Amino acid sequence: MKRKLLLFLLDVLATIIAGVAALFIRFGFDFVEMDKYNESIYFYVIIAAVVYVLNGNYKIVWRYANQKDFLIIFRGTLFSYLLTVMFFHFYRSFVLPRSVGMITFLGSFMFILTGRLLYQFFVQTSKNHTRKFLIVGTENMAVSLAEDIEKNKVGEIVAFVDDDKSKIGRTIMGKKVYGPISKIGELSKVIDFDELIIAIPGITSNKVNQIVDLVDLSKVKVKIIPSFEEILSEKVKIDDIRNISLEDIIGRKPIDVNLQEIGEYLKDKVVLVTGAGGSIGSELCRQIVIQKPRSLILLGRGENSIYEISEELNEKYADVEIFRAIGDVENREWMEKIFEKFKPDIVFHAAAHKHVPLMEENPYEAIRVNVFGTINLADISCKFNVEKFVFISTDKAVNPTSFMGLSKRIAELYILSKKCSTRFSIVRFGNVIGSRGSVLWKFKKQIEQGKPVTITHPDMRRYFMSIPEAVSLVLESTILNGNLFVLDMGEQIPIEEIARKLGKILGKDNIEIVYTGIRRGEKLYEELFYPYEVANRTKHPKIFSVKYDKPFNEDEIKKNSLEILENLKGFNFEKACEYARKLVPEFKFRGGIE
């Protein structure tokens, strides 16, 4: 309130100065002539003062003002001038030369605008600018965060916001609690803050989405505290908070998994993860190592990614033996040597080529790695009596229209055909947010560079879940009975909606969308089940166990897969597709677009 009153008084002073300057410009130092119009200037100032308030000059947080906000000043000074002219026209006891009125109008606008610009300049360039935090939440985590901010002199807590009616209007640490949360947009007009921290443990993504929609992300940074699982404590510090991400607003609800039972299963086991440097593989390693396996083998083809994940894990979990193995899963001889050396109890097979358009251009590689790599690992697991083998699949394996989808479906069929002491299972799910090669990275780059976001079709939809969520459910599946599991992905989300939400996070509300046309092998929407598959709920609400009534022959799959590979090697796509349809009749070459 004090800040608004000060601004109002400064604006009135600026208008008085503009009026006096106008008289000097018009009459020079003829004070006798100037004195005739003093009362007219007073009336101008009174009219202007009323207009400034009604115009909304003091509802704007001027630290973040932009061109639209400065136009509000122009509108206020212009209306002041026009109303003054009308007043003198109808009330002829006072007069004001037209030139004096015009100069007062222009001068008041320039003085007020200059004051605002100088304020903005000094605030933004000040090295000692104090960060001002608005904290959403009033529970223990929010309070401990506020205490840490004040203790370390990181910035100033300006207020708290909460939905709890019993706390609204009261104070915490001397700072007022406002509410409800839905009024944050109105609050931003009266309270000066540059960072908003969401400090509500277990908050739903829908609620986060609502909060994000209430603030202008080009002016205010929105951050969030980690989950209980991430910090394993009710104490949270300023270093724990992170920027808002797409996972926070995508619309997925928090999930619970049976960590105790998963931990008991993995404890003291030798676990091997293929594709350990990839998005899913690395997260599998992060979540597995917490459960204290006897040892963890990181198998991958890319030395840099394996090095990075091993360094990360060794730094945090020095008490777990971690081994690094570089190799291609299609190299059967080398895979056998690795299994012989480490004798894994459990194998998580996440290694795969997954980029659809790239694999359409290189179908030989898709079949070589995704199919024969899986065949090798499954056979070797039987040979070395691996206890459990988990294959990571994709929704693109259902009614495939791409070679990547085809390769994953054939790999699924082979896993389902295996009969030995090893317990095989498949986990099928849709897109994960932030995986390597994801279209979201392209969107992010385009938005940051101010370029149009390219989407292939306005009706394109996909399933999405976060990488940690998907991996948690993969681990949960290891303690369930069944051999084909499908994760509950919720509703498919339009790709355009995802792009616009990403733009919102990056402070770009009105991104331009350009449609480029569907690419080869691409679908408008994904599917999770075949018509002949029957989905049954398991004891976990997010995991389906799938029953199927089709027999799968191991030798037949190998034979036809070899024919597909040989024909692709010779670029004989039509012949390769003939053999492919013997295994997967639903396969449509290049999306059915010949």
**In a domain? residue 250:** no
Residue 400: pLDDT above 90? yes
**In a domain? residue 105:** yes
**In a domain? residue 390:** yes
**The last residue of a domain, from among 96, 125, 154:** 125
| Residues 120 and 140 both lie in one domain | no
In 363-402, alpha helices (H)? 363-365, 373-383
| Residues 383 and 529 both lie in one domain | yes
CA distance 19 to 67: 25
pLDDT score recorded for residue 128:
47
| Residues 165 and 118 both lie in one domain | no
> Which residues make beta-bridge pairs with 347?
272, 389
| Average pLDDT of the residues in 105-121 | 83
pLDDT score recorded for residue 65:
67
| Residues 435 and 515 both lie in one domain | yes
pLDDT score recorded for residue 406:
97
| Residues 114 and 151 both lie in one domain | no
pLDDT, one tens digit per residue, over 485-537 is 999 988 888 999 888 888 877 777 788 999 999 888 888 899 999 999 999 99
pLDDT score recorded for residue 170:
92
pLDDT score recorded for residue 563:
97
Q: Give 551: exposed, middle or buried? Use CB within 10 Å, 0-12, 13-18, 19+.
A: exposed
Domain count, the chain: 3
Pairing of the two strands 423-429 and 388-394:
parallel
Give the CATH number for residue 182.
Answer: 3.40.50.720
Q: Which of 132, 354, 388, 396 is catalytic?
A: 396
**In a domain? residue 397:** yes
pLDDT score recorded for residue 1:
62
pLDDT, one tens digit per residue, over 152-178 is 888 889 999 999 999 999 999 999 999
| Residues 215 and 287 both lie in one domain | no
pLDDT score recorded for residue 251:
54
Is 396 in the active site?
A: yes
**In a domain? residue 38:** yes
CA distance 177 to 143: 12
| Residues 564 and 472 both lie in one domain | yes
Q: Give 158: exposed, middle or buried? Use CB within 10 Å, 0-12, 13-18, 19+.
A: middle
| Residues 194 and 86 both lie in one domain | no
**In a domain? residue 252:** no
**In a domain? residue 254:** no
pLDDT score recorded for residue 237:
61
| Residues 78 and 158 both lie in one domain | no
**In a domain? residue 96:** yes
- The token pair at 359 is 């694999």
pLDDT, one tens digit per residue, over 146-156 is 888 888 888 88
**The last residue of a domain, from among 89, 110, 125:** 125
pLDDT, one tens digit per residue, over 3-22 is 778 888 888 888 888 888 88
Contact 349, 392 (CB under 8 A): yes
| Residues 236 and 329 both lie in one domain | no
**The last residue of a domain, from among 220, 244, 268:** 244
Contact 172, 143 (CB under 8 A): yes
Can you give the residue range of the structural domain that contains 284? 259-592
| Residues 94 and 181 both lie in one domain | no
| Residues 371 and 416 both lie in one domain | yes
